[in-house]
Amino acid sequence: MNNKLSAKERAHIGRVKLLPCSVCDAPGISDAHHIEQKLQYCVIALCRDCHNSHHGTKALWRVRKMDELSALNKTIENLIEAGNGNPSKTHLNEF
């Protein structure tokens, strides 16, 4: 199994880790929780408590009425607000 990340994937994950937690809003540095292991752009910014809760009872998530999709939406919203999710016109040509 090849888990080698591209430079773009590493940069994206690094930006996500700088965000506040997408569940409880605790300030970063956050963990980057992968919704699915090989999908490097589907990562959620989570503080350690919310990350551990997700892999355990999910109690913190239930209190805030959050699931992975709503947390991913909050992560993307925070990236855009931070100016890290809005590619410049020069980068749009790469897609």
Structural domains of the chain, count? 1
pLDDT tens for each residue of 65-89: 888 888 998 999 999 988 855 544 3
Angle between helices 7-17 and 68-81 (to 10 degrees): 90
Per the structure, the complete domain to which residue 68 belongs is given by 7-85
In eight-state DSSP terms, residue 5 is P
What pLDDT is stored for residue 85 in this prediction?
Answer: 54
Look at residue 91 in the predicted model and tell me its pLDDT: 41
Task: Decide if 20 is inside a domain.
Answer: yes
The per-residue pLDDT of the chain, averaged, comes to 82
39 in a structural domain: yes
- Confirm whether 1 is domain-assigned: no
Q: What is the tens place of the pLDDT at every residue in 14-72?
A: 999 999 999 999 998 999 999 988 899 999 999 999 888 887 777 777 778 888 888 99
